[in-house]
Amino acid sequence: MELSIVKIGGNIIDDESKLASFLDAFAAVKGKKILVHGGGKLATKVAEGLGIKQQMIDGRRITDAETLKIVTMVYAGTINKHIVAHLQARGCNAMGLTGADGNAILAHKRVHPTIDYGYVGDVDAVDASLLTSLLMLDKTLVFAPITHDRKGQLLNTNADTIAQEIARALCSTFDTSLIYSFEKSGVLLNAEDDSSVISRIDPVYYTRLKEQQVIFAGMIPKLDNAFAAVKSGVKKVIIGRAEQLPLLLEGAAGTTIVHA
Amino acid sequence: MELSIVKIGGNIIDDESKLASFLDAFAAVKGKKILVHGGGKLATKVAEGLGIKQQMIDGRRITDAETLKIVTMVYAGTINKHIVAHLQARGCNAMGLTGADGNAILAHKRVHPTIDYGYVGDVDAVDASLLTSLLMLDKTLVFAPITHDRKGQLLNTNADTIAQEIARALCSTFDTSLIYSFEKSGVLLNAEDDSSVISRIDPVYYTRLKEQQVIFAGMIPKLDNAFAAVKSGVKKVIIGRAEQLPLLLEGAAGTTIVHA
């Protein structure tokens, strides 16, 4: 049975009309499906409105206790329920979840030798049995990027990682495709030219692209995540523009990551 | 099979130590269970922080578009996920939901000849099959007082009503007890004396108590809800103090509402 897991980021969430088009396309996808959404600018806006300062250390945003409250409100409340209600309006029986709900995604607070990231979670386990049961009830799952440690602590968690961990947990049960949508048409040979999409990358080509510094900075963790997923048995990982979702699923747009 | 549905209000949610004690007691309840929570003062605090004025008409709070955003954030985000995470920490496999999730509770925007309540929902249908499936997966359901109209609109919805509608929908499948917790020890013969709890009320006695004006104001819709529930087949409705949950379930505290 086919399962499509789609991750959307802030660039779609922040743009009401882009989000509406994406939800049209996502609602029309056949088979079982899971949407994982990131944050977007609303959390920053709400934090500013409430006079909560973003704590930055070495250019990284730190999830302190106040920031965690904001992201829980905005991600699990505003954004998640907005998406669920709008998928329901499109005839897609969506159900919103965080990792705390049903203990779907268990995590621990990140431990780092020098940086205290605050309430940031690294994933330990996905309850594949629960997610399979919900999918078999014909629900489309919509995950907010929040997990918990089962000790009462909610944790801010990277949405790319959540999508990948869910894909790895479910790929032995479903023919799983993982789609990372972002603001470009795919992985580009020339970062300045959106038409220079690399249609297919395997591990050997990936090493070469990194050596040539065609791929750098923020793309590296994204692609590392993608390769980890295909290595674990995810059928394919596709990176591309959310607005092109139907084409991405057909393999007619974006970059497909394959395992050797 | 026994099902306990417990509604808690703002007086518990606003008090961290009362909430913790309640969650201890709730986590220890045997059998299937559902928690429905109300709002509390946090929504007002967040609205004030963001400079959103509460609109009041004839002494009633109106859920305008901005207020709906706030209650969605606070009820479905902050409060719901706080409760879920803290039940998980107590070994209770909680799953948080709004009425939009899985189309669990379908509602319509309230129509009133003279007052526009704004985005307030009146319940049309509870998906008993979905809730039963989730309970049979051994999940404890935690409902925020938000529903939707399946046209993309979220709706602020009375938590007492949600608890009652869920109880009515599930009472043919489970031996259902509905517990309305509030700030008093039960329905009181003398509103000034918290020890004057009436232990049992049937419809005849209820009529008499209303005639004698022992029961008035805010208690009337609460008791009307309770009688509607027992009339529909809910085994018992108990009204009392959240802190006494174990005693309420044993019938050793609070007021039990029975059908004739």
pLDDT, one tens digit per residue, over B109-158 is 999 898 888 999 999 999 999 999 999 999 999 999 999 999 999 999 99
Full DSSP string of B118-136: BSBEEEEEE-HHHHHHHHH
pLDDT higher than threshold 80 for residue B211: yes
pLDDT band at B11 (very low <50, low <70, confident <90, very high): confident
pLDDT, one tens digit per residue, over B34-88 is 999 998 889 989 999 999 988 777 767 789 999 999 999 999 999 999 999 999 9
State pTM to two decimals: 0.95
Kindly determine whether residue B82 and residue A154, on different chains, have CB atoms separated by under 8 Å.
yes
**Residue found by looking up tokens 């497909």 in the block:** A256
Residue-level pLDDT at B221: 84
CB-based contacts of B243, cutoff 8 Å, min separation 6 = B18, B21, B22, B25
Q: What is the largest CA-CA distance in chain B?
A: 50
Kindly determine whether residue A133 and residue B130, on different chains, have CB atoms separated by under 8 Å.
no
A→B contacts (Cβ < 8 Å), by residue, are 46, 49-51, 69, 72-78, 80-82, 84-86, 88-89, 93-98, 100-103, 130, 133, 137, 139, 146, 148, 150-154
Chain B interface mutation, best of A95, A135, A146, highest count of B Cβ atoms under 10 Å: A95
Among A192, A186, A165, A194, smallest CA distance to A257 is for: A186
Contact A246, A30 (CB under 8 A): no
Structure tokens at B107: 């509602």
Among B152, B120, B156, smallest CA distance to B39 is for: B156
Structure tokens at A103: 């203990």
Which chain B residue's Cα is nearest to A151? B89
Structure tokens at A96: 């919103």
Determine the Cα–Cα distance for residues A58 and B82; give it in Å rounded to an integer: 30
Contact B92, B28 (CB under 8 A): no
Q: B77 to chain A: which residues are within 8 Å by CB?
A: 72-78, 80
Determine the Cα–Cα distance for residues A9 and A109; give it in Å rounded to an integer: 23
Q: A97 to chain B: which residues are within 8 Å by CB?
A: 95, 101
Phi first, then psi: what are they for B61, rounded to 5°? -80, 130
Residue-level pLDDT at A3: 98
Over range A146-170, report the average pLDDT. Answer: 96
Kindly determine whether residue A152 and residue B78, on different chains, have CB atoms separated by under 8 Å.
no
List the alpha helices (DSSP H) in B187-256: 203-211, 219-231, 245-250
Over range A21-30, report the average pLDDT. Answer: 96
Residue-level pLDDT at A92: 98
DSSP letter, residue A242: G
| Amino acid, res. B42 | L
Over range A103-114, report the average pLDDT. Answer: 95
Q: B137 to chain A: which residues are within 8 Å by CB?
A: 102, 130, 133
Kindly determine whether residue A88 and residue B74, on different chains, have CB atoms separated by under 8 Å.
no
**Residue found by looking up tokens 């939707």 in the block:** B148
Residue-level pLDDT at A56: 76
Residue-level pLDDT at B59: 67
Integer CA distances (angstroms), A258 to A4, A6, A123, A179, B173, in order? 16, 17, 24, 13, 48
Specify the length of chain A in residues. 260
Determine the Cα–Cα distance for residues A61 and B90; give it in Å rounded to an integer: 31
Annotate B25-44 with three-state secondary structure.
HHHHCCCEEEEEECCCCHHH
B→A contacts (Cβ < 8 Å), by residue, are 46, 49-51, 69, 72-78, 80-82, 84-86, 88-89, 93-98, 100-103, 130, 133, 137, 139, 146, 148, 150-154
Average pLDDT, chain B: 94
Residue-level pLDDT at A177: 96
Q: How many CB atoms lie within 10 A of CB A209?
A: 18
Residue-level pLDDT at A188: 93
Q: How many CB atoms lie within 10 A of CB B151?
A: 11
pLDDT higher than threshold 90 for residue B247: yes
Determine the Cα–Cα distance for residues A159 and A179; give it in Å rounded to an integer: 12
Q: Which of B96, B97, B154 sits opposite A85 (nearest CB)?
A: B154
Q: How many helices (H) and strands (E) does chain A have?
A: 10, 14
Over range A140-167, report the average pLDDT. Answer: 97
N-term to C-term CA, chain A:
24
Q: B102 to chain A: which residues are within 8 Å by CB?
A: 93-95, 137, 139
Residue-level pLDDT at A59: 67
Among B175, B168, B124, smallest CA distance to B148 is for: B124
pLDDT band at B216 (very low <50, low <70, confident <90, very high): confident
pLDDT, one tens digit per residue, over A204-254 is 999 999 999 988 887 888 898 899 899 999 999 999 999 999 999 998 999
Full DSSP string of B8-28: E-HHHHT-HHHHHHHHHHHHH
Integer CA distances (angstroms), B141 to A31, B92, B98, B133, in order? 27, 10, 10, 11
| Amino acid, res. A18 | K
The alpha carbon dihedral of A108, A165, A23, A1 has a sign of negative
Buried b (16+ CB within 10 A) or exposed e, A139-160: bbbbbbbbbbbbebbbbbbbbb
Smallest CA–CA distance, residue A68 to chain B, in Å, is 10
Chain B interface mutation, best of A46, A84, A92, A143, highest count of B Cβ atoms under 10 Å: A84
